[in-house]
Amino acid sequence: MHEPIIKGNMISIPSCLEYLTNIDDFIEGILRGFDVEESVIADIAISVSELVNNSVSHGNKSDRSKTVSVTISKKGNDIEIVITDQGIGFNPQDISNPLDEENLLKDTGRGFFIVNTLMDKVDVKTTDSGTITTITKSIV
């Protein structure tokens, strides 16, 4: 099995949930280097964890031969994070609203809702080679 690969502000992991802690440690370390407030670090870390979990489980179907990559950058007063998988993609409009009565007691289906709540901008693009999700959070 492959190990996480770190190159500058990018980390790539095999599609296996055991590497989520590597992603968390990487993201939190970079954000502290950017001197980001701890509460904002927590919001970003939760969002990235949710999206990587979805990329591994739903996008790449936990296929260890596929990878999930996360790139983080500071652009002015914004933190931009790009999560890329090798899955077939999805349409965010197709995700059920977890606040609808029929979904309130379900064990799953809240991740993307949480990300949209915590981040300032969420953009999902499906390509021939996978899904690219870009999240942005202002740090001012």
pLDDT of residue 103: 45
pLDDT at 95 over 60: no
- Are the beta carbons of 72 and 136 closer than 8 angstroms? no
Average pLDDT over residues 117-130: 92
- The tokens of 121 are what? 């901008």
The span from the CA of 10 to the CA of 1, in Å, is 19
Domain count within the chain: 1
Which one has a higher pLDDT value, 114 or 70?
A: 70
Mean of all residue pLDDT scores within the chain: 87
**C-alpha to C-alpha distances, 68 to 24, 32, 85, nearest whole angstrom:** 13, 23, 5
Average pLDDT over residues 31-53: 96
pLDDT of residue 90: 62
Residue 67's domain comprises 5-138
What's the pLDDT tens digit per position in 74-92?
999 999 999 999 988 665 5
The CATH number assigned to the domain holding 114 equals 3.30.565.10
